[in-house]
């Protein structure tokens, strides 16, 4: 566990233009040690990792590899030094197969030709090690996010990394997949690899990390053995204030509240069948289930975003037909996507354009009233605490948490009465989560109806007034009050009597 | 995560370079042109350059919208030839009944506009509803229209009746206050196009569609309708350009409008619109068109370089423009 650091940062600072984002950071990665780097979105984790992996040079300070100062001229030199980084946004060629990706740039050759047999054998071996059951000839574009993550890890295994840097490797994984990943991490640790990873799930940090380094606003605020800091301690160090009250209090309404949305017999071909539920005024309805249970597809079908049919949909007691997104929006029903980067925001465009896109008709007539847009942006930045360096920056350069807050502000421009949020806090830090929970509860208290799809058990339990559990495209059960607990949700999600050890995703 | 400020400082320079680039190139060309031949800035020559730019320019404005929304249209040159042929056939056929006069001209114009809109809608329908790649669809219709006009002309030239041509000529050759009609129509198209692109909902929807179709769909933008409208609008503008073009020569043949589509696309790209879609500017396209026709004009006015090398120089300019814009971006 101890010994000389393999890779370290000494007094590293990094500035982008006039803004310094890292202030004299010291960090050591040791062979056979797992270091968790945690911090809020925008604390400097990504920049730190990029400097470690040689993607970016530090503005000042030194990077030491085996005690010797290095300046990586390119990513390749970082890889030569045995440093492999797995990005949060996967670095896979979508149109190549799994096998081609694993050996991309270092194909094994026999003479002039590729040694396909050997590559196939090794690919199968690496995939087996991560318990990934995809065929080596599958195109990466056809893989799910969790399989892509496993392929990335298989690729890192093939590189025989001395230092492995992973940016939120578990964000796209289910509970059991996370365990497979951790087994691999433990094996690599035993093998003498230095591992650094980031995660917003603090229980994972406690589980796998040997050391924890906490960044806040570009400075290291805590560094020590993982055994010496509790999850609460980590959260407090990250945020700089106490966040034990993560979930706002539930008001505890009676069941007699007015029904805002009543869905009966909703079918989404290939994904959901016969889904029905009621949503009451002022309520947060959690939707739990395994990944692939059809939760997202059900709600997208309901909102006219994909083909669907329903026996009956009532909004405010009135039967409605929703065939396209505008039908839903006209009736105050709005869906916030789980995928902010691919479906939620135009990453190349600035904040203003993104904010108003969904409700552009509300800003001027035939011509857009840009002054009104600017005012709306001022208000959104204020209301949602969106922290952007400059307001005309591309939103792709915002941190995940700020993107999520902008996305929330964007759907609120349509003034929905019923808001369906899908994984509203995926990949964002605990401080921002707290803000989003408070916001959702606030909306409910103002008389909105909220449906929240979430794969985070604690979130579902902590925030929902009622929970609908889905399994293989059907409603498996509805939980209320004290019945909302992990055990009940898991049983419904897995089918009654299922083995409890499988974690709900 | 921490990338709030990544690119922030440098991004400020991005617009300035990509905005200044085309304008600077145009200014340099004007200076070169004037230093080589003092007639370059004479009213007659300026009118000549602008009038010749008008056809491609009007089409290129429409092309800007198509490309911004993430599409492409290779068929516009052939479409122009086909519409010109159709217009001539219709007008010649109506001559015995209508006689020479305003009504027959209006009939010809209506034919051109309707044919253009229908042709654009066909392209758009195949691309959006049937979901075939824009490149393939318009490559197909490009061949179809080219072949149709050749067939209509029976391999030769379709000519407007001589009397009719004399009556129609002023639409190209005269104008108001010494400004010829093609220039006026071009200017109006540009003004309306620029407002539509930068200030109207439609322009914003085009940019959103071209930037990320899925995000646009999830943001309540009717992606198919937006795309369809860009093709229909481009078709209509091809019709407008043809209305201006027919009186100039009074004929149409298999060689009418050859390579117009590439000139229009080149002008759009030189002007700073992204070929992959998501960002477009009409005024940039105008500068692109002017740059291309000015090179042609300079080569014709001076004997420094053979006019036969016109295409080569234009090609270099197109590649340079894209490199310059990428450089500006890479720094950002």
Residues A20 and A150 in one domain: yes
The model's pLDDT over A256-315, given as tens digits with 9 standing for 90+, comes to 688 999 999 999 998 999 999 999 999 999 999 887 889 999 999 999 999 999 999 999
Euclidean distance between CA atoms A10 and B208, whole angstroms:
44
Torsion angles phi and psi, residue A269, rounded to 5: -50, 125
**pLDDT at residue A148 greater than cutoff 90:** no
| Partner A contacted by B11 (CB < 8 A) | yes
Q: How far is B86 from chain A (nearest CA, A)?
A: 35
Q: How large is the average pLDDT for residues B297-326? A: 81
Euclidean distance between CA atoms B40 and B30, whole angstroms:
8
| Partner A contacted by B331 (CB < 8 A) | no
Q: How large is the average pLDDT for residues A418-441? A: 90
Handedness of CA A201, A204, A208, A211 (dihedral sign): positive
**Residue A256: predicted pLDDT:** 65
Query: Is residue A502 domain-resident?
Result: no
Domain C-terminal end among A206, A239, A272: A239
Q: How large is the average pLDDT for residues B57-84? A: 96
The model's pLDDT over A29-44, given as tens digits with 9 standing for 90+, comes to 998 899 999 987 778 8
Residues A157 and A232 in one domain: yes
**CB nearest to A348's CB, from B8, B211, B216:** B211
Query: B148 vs A173, which has greater pLDDT?
Result: B148
Residues A217 and A291 in one domain: no
Euclidean distance between CA atoms B206 and B222, whole angstroms:
10
**pLDDT at residue A503 greater than cutoff 70:** no
Q: How far is A279 from chain B (nearest CA, A)?
A: 22
**CB nearest to A19's CB, from B5, B208, B220:** B5
**Residue B37: predicted pLDDT:** 84
* Cβ contact A42–B2 (<8 Å): yes
Query: Is residue A440 domain-resident?
Result: yes
| Chain A neighbors of B11, CB-CB under 8 A | 390, 392-394
| Chain A neighbors of B219, CB-CB under 8 A | 357-358, 410
Q: Strands (DSSP E) along chain B, which ranges?
A: 157-159, 175-176, 179-180, 251-253
Domain count for chain A: 3
Query: A450 vs A167, which has greater pLDDT?
Result: A450
Residues A174 and A299 in one domain: no
**Residue A278: predicted pLDDT:** 93
Relative orientation angle of helices B181-198 and B43-68, to the nearest 10 degrees: 30
Mean pLDDT score of chain B: 88
**Residue B213: predicted pLDDT:** 92
- DSSP lists the bridge partners of residue A194 as A163
Instruction: Provide, for chain B, the percentages of residues in helix, strand and coil under a 3-state DSSP scheme, each rounded to the nearest 5.
Output: 80, 5, 20
Residues A287 and A405 in one domain: no
Q: Report the DSSP pairing between strands A5-16 and A60-65.
A: antiparallel
Query: B18 vs A231, which has greater pLDDT?
Result: A231
Residue A171 makes CB contacts below 8 A (sequence gap 6+) with A88, A199, A200, A426, A427
- Domain range for A267 is 258-332+417-495
The model's pLDDT over B168-212, given as tens digits with 9 standing for 90+, comes to 888 888 878 878 899 999 999 999 999 999 999 999 999 999 999
* Cβ contact A41–B212 (<8 Å): no
* Cβ contact B9–A17 (<8 Å): yes
**Residue A76: predicted pLDDT:** 54
The CATH label, of 1.10.150, 2.40.128, 1.10.3470, 3.20.20, for the domain at B42-291 is 1.10.3470
**CB nearest to A389's CB, from B8, B204, B220:** B8
Element (H, E) at B82: helix B76-98
Torsion angles phi and psi, residue A189, rounded to 5: -60, -45
**Residue A502: predicted pLDDT:** 41
Residues A116 and A224 in one domain: yes
DSSP B174-206: -EETTEEHHHHHHHHHHHHHHHHHHTBHHHHHH
Residues A306 and A201 in one domain: no
Percent of residues, chain A, with pLDDT higher than 70: 94
Contacts for B188-196: CB closer than 8 Å, 24+ residues apart: B189/B57, B189/B58, B189/B61, B189/B237, B189/B240, B190/B57, B190/B61, B190/B282, B190/B283, B190/B286, B193/B61, B193/B62, B193/B64, B193/B65, B193/B282, B194/B281, B194/B282, B194/B283, B195/A367, B196/B65, B196/B282
Q: Report the DSSP pairing between strands A219-225 and A68-70.
A: unpaired
**pLDDT at residue B253 greater than cutoff 70:** yes
**pLDDT at residue A53 greater than cutoff 70:** yes
Sequence ranges of the domains in chain B: 42-291
Confidence label for A155 from pLDDT (cuts 50, 70 and 90): confident
| Partner A contacted by B300 (CB < 8 A) | no
| Partner A contacted by B222 (CB < 8 A) | yes
| Chain B neighbors of A361, CB-CB under 8 A | 201
Q: Which of A12, A17, A405 to mutate to test the interface with B (most CBs of B within 10 A)?
A: A17
Alpha helices in A364-503 (DSSP H): 370-384, 400-412, 430-445, 457-463, 486-494
Q: What is the dihedral of CA A137, A143, A149, A155, to 10 degrees?
A: 10
Euclidean distance between CA atoms B329 and A16, whole angstroms:
16
Q: Strands (DSSP E) along B100-185, which ranges?
A: 157-159, 175-176, 179-180
Supply the DSSP symbol for A51: H
| Chain B neighbors of A344, CB-CB under 8 A | 215, 218
Contacts for A276-281: CB closer than 8 Å, 24+ residues apart: A276/A475, A277/A468, A277/A475, A277/A478, A279/A418, A279/A449, A279/A451, A280/A253, A280/A255, A280/A449, A281/A257, A281/A447, A281/A448, A281/A449
Euclidean distance between CA atoms A287 and A264, whole angstroms:
16
- Give B 159-198 residues with CB within 8 A of chain A: 195
* Cβ contact A360–B278 (<8 Å): no
Look up residue B33 and give its two tokens. 């042109």
Confidence label for A132 from pLDDT (cuts 50, 70 and 90): confident
| Chain B neighbors of A398, CB-CB under 8 A | 3-4
Query: A239 vs A346, which has greater pLDDT?
Result: A346
Mean pLDDT score of chain A: 86
Euclidean distance between CA atoms B176 and B188, whole angstroms:
14
Alpha helices in B199-273 (DSSP H): 201-211, 213-218, 223-249, 260-270
Query: B79 vs A496, which has greater pLDDT?
Result: B79
Handedness of CA B75, B78, B80, B86 (dihedral sign): negative
Look up residue A459 and give its two tokens. 């979130």
- Only one residue has tokens 């029903």, namely A333
SS3 A349: coil
Query: Is residue A248 domain-resident?
Result: no
* Cβ contact A393–B7 (<8 Å): yes
**Residue A301: predicted pLDDT:** 94
Q: How large is the average pLDDT for residues A113-118? A: 82
* Cβ contact A358–B220 (<8 Å): yes
Look up residue A171 and give its two tokens. 């964000």
**Residue A443: predicted pLDDT:** 93
Among the listed residues B284, B331, B312, B323, the one whose alpha carbon sits nearest the alpha carbon of residue B24: B284
Look up residue A181 and give its two tokens. 């990943």
**Residue B7: predicted pLDDT:** 39
SS3 B281: coil
Q: How far is B166 from chain A (nearest CA, A)?
A: 41
Query: Is residue A170 domain-resident?
Result: yes
**Residue A174: predicted pLDDT:** 75
**pLDDT at residue A495 greater than cutoff 80:** no
* Cβ contact A17–B221 (<8 Å): no
Q: Which of A346, A365, A398, A413 to mutate to test the interface with B (most CBs of B within 10 A)?
A: A346
Confidence label for A131 from pLDDT (cuts 50, 70 and 90): confident
DSSP A141-167: GGS-HHHHHHHHHHHHHHTT-SEEEES
| Chain B neighbors of A394, CB-CB under 8 A | 7, 11
- Only one residue has tokens 């004009």, namely B297
Q: Which of A139-148, A261-270, A468-477, B260-269 has the lowest mean pLDDT?
A: A139-148
Residues A389 and A482 in one domain: no
Percent of residues, chain B, with pLDDT higher than 70: 92
Among the listed residues B224, B65, B221, the one whose alpha carbon sits nearest the alpha carbon of residue A346: B221
**Could you tell me the CATH number of the domain that includes residue A51?**
3.40.50.300
Q: How far is B12 from chain A (nearest CA, A)?
A: 9
**Residue A255: predicted pLDDT:** 57
**Residue A304: predicted pLDDT:** 93
**Residue A204: predicted pLDDT:** 87
Look up residue B213 and give its two tokens. 């179709």
Residues A302 and A213 in one domain: no
Domain C-terminal end among A364, A386, A415: A415
Residues A173 and A186 in one domain: yes
**Contacts across the A-B interface (CB distance below 8 Å):** 128
Residues A204 and A184 in one domain: yes
Distance of CA B167 to CAs A240, A438, A472, B173, Å? 82, 74, 74, 11
Q: Which of A14, A16, A197, A350 to mutate to test the interface with B (most CBs of B within 10 A)?
A: A16
Nearest chain A residue to B205, by CA: A357
**Residue B38: predicted pLDDT:** 84
| Chain A neighbors of B1, CB-CB under 8 A | 41-47, 167, 399-400
**Residue A441: predicted pLDDT:** 94
Confidence label for A190 from pLDDT (cuts 50, 70 and 90): confident
**CA Rg value for chain B:** 21
* Cβ contact A393–B279 (<8 Å): no
The model's pLDDT over B95-130, given as tens digits with 9 standing for 90+, comes to 999 988 899 999 999 999 999 999 999 999 999 999
| Chain A neighbors of B193, CB-CB under 8 A | none
Q: Which of B193, B218, B223, B226 to mutate to test the interface with A (most CBs of A within 10 A)?
A: B218
**pLDDT at residue B80 greater than cutoff 60:** yes
* Cβ contact A393–B207 (<8 Å): no
Query: Is residue A249 domain-resident?
Result: no
* Cβ contact B218–A325 (<8 Å): yes
Relative orientation angle of helices B13-36 and B282-301, to the nearest 10 degrees: 20
Residues A278 and A200 in one domain: no
Say how far residue A499 (Cα) sits from the centre of its chain. 27
Confidence label for B4 from pLDDT (cuts 50, 70 and 90): very low
* Cβ contact A19–B212 (<8 Å): no
**Residue A216: predicted pLDDT:** 86
Domain C-terminal end among A376, A399, A415: A415
């Amino acid at each position: 566990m101890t010994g000389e650091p393999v890779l370290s940062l000494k007094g590293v600072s990094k500035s982008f233009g006039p803004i310094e984002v890292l202030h004299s950071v010291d960090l050591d990665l040791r062979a056979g040690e797992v270091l968790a780097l945690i911090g809020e979105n925008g604390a400097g984790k990504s920049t730190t990792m990029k400097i470690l992996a040689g993607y970016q040079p530090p503005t000042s300070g030194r990077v030491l590899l085996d005690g010797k100062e290095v300046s990586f001229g390119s990513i390749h030199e970082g890889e030569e030094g045995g440093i492999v980084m797995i990005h949060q946004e996967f670095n896979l060629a979508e149109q190549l197969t799994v096998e081609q990706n694993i050996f991309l740039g270092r194909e094994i050759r026999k003479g002039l030709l590729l040694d396909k047999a050997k590559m196939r054998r090794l690919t199968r071996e690496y995939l087996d090690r991560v318990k990934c059951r995809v065929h080596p000839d599958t195109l990466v574009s056809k893989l799910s996010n969790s399989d892509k993550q496993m392929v990335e890890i298989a690729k890192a295994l093939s590189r025989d990394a001395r230092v492995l840097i992973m940016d939120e490797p578990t964000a796209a994984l289910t509970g059991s997949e996370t365990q497979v990943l951790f087994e691999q991490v433990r094996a690599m640790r035993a093998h003498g690899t230095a591992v650094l990873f980031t995660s917003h799930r603090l229980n994972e940090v406690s589980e796998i990390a040997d050391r924890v380094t906490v960044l806040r606003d570009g400075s290291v605020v805590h560094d020590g053995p993982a055994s010496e800091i509790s999850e609460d301690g980590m959260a407090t160090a990250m945020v700089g204030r106490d966040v034990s009250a993560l979930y706002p209090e539930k008001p505890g309404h009676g069941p007699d509240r007015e029904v805002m949305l009543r869905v009966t017999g909703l079918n989404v071909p290939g994904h959901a069948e016969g889904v029905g539920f009621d949503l009451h005024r002022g309520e947060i309805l959690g939707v739990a289930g395994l990944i692939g249970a059809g939760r997202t597809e059900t709600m997208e079908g309901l909102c006219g975003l994909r083909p669907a049919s329903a026996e009956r949909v009532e909004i405010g007691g009135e039967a409605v037909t929703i065939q396209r997104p505008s039908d839903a929006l006209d009736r105050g029903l709005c869906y916030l996507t789980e995928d902010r980067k691919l479906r939620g925001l135009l990453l190349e465009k600035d904040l203003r354009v993104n904010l108003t896109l969904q409700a552009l008709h509300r800003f001027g007539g035939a011509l857009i009233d840009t002054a009104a847009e600017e005012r709306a942006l001022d208000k959104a930045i204020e209301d949602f605490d969106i922290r952007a360096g400059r307001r005309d920056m591309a939103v792709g350069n915002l941190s995940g948490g700020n993107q999520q807050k902008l996305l929330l502000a964007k759907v609120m421009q349509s003034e929905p009465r019923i808001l369906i949020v899908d994984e509203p806090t995926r990949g964002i830090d605990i401080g921002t989560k707290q803000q989003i929970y408070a916001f959702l509860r606030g909306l409910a208290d103002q008389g909105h109806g909220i449906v929240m799809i979430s794969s985070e058990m604690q979130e579902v339990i902590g925030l929902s007034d009622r929970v609908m559990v889905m399994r293989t495209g059907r409603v498996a059960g509805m939980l209320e009050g004290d019945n909302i607990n992990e055990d009940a949700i898991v049983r419904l999600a897995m089918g009654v009597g299922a083995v409890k050890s499988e974690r709900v995703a | 995560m921490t990338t709030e400020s990544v690119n922030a400082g440098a991004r400020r320079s991005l617009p300035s370079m990509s905005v200044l680039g085309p304008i600077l190139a145009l200014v340099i060309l004007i200076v070169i042109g004037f230093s080589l031949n003092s007639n370059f800035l004479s009213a007659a020559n300026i009118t000549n350059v602008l009038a010749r730019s008008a056809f491609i320019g009007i089409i290129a404005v429409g092309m800007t919208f198509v490309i911004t929304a993430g599409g492409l249209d290779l068929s516009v040159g052939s479409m122009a030839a086909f519409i010109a042929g159709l217009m001539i056939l219709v007008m010649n056929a109506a001559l015995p009944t209508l006689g020479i006069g305003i009504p027959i001209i209006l009939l010809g114009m209506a034919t051109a506009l309707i044919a253009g809109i229908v042709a654009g809608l066909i392209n758009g329908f195949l691309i959006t509803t049937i979901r075939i790649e824009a490149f393939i669809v318009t490559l197909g219709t490009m061949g179809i229209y080219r072949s149709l006009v050749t067939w209509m002309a029976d391999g030769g030239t379709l000519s407007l009746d001589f009397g009719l041509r004399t009556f129609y000529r002023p639409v190209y050759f005269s104008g108001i206050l010494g400004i010829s009609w093609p220039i006026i129509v071009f200017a109006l198209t540009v003004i309306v196009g620029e407002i539509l692109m930068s200030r109207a909902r439609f322009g914003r929807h085009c940019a959103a569609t071209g930037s990320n179709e899925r995000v646009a769909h999830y943001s309540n933008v009717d992606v198919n309708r937006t795309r369809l409208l860009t093709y229909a609008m481009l078709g209509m503008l091809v019709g407008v350009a043809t209305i201006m073009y027919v009186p100039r020569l009074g004929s149409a043949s298999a060689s009418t409008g050859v390579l117009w589509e590439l000139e229009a696309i080149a002008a759009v790209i030189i002007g700073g619109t992204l070929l992959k879609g998501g960002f477009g500017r009409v005024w940039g396209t105008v500068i692109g068109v002017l740059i291309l026709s000015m090179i042609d004009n300079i080569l014709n006015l001076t004997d420094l370089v053979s006019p036969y090398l016109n295409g080569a120089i234009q090609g270099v300019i197109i590649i340079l423009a894209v490199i310059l814009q990428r450089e500006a971006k890479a720094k950002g």
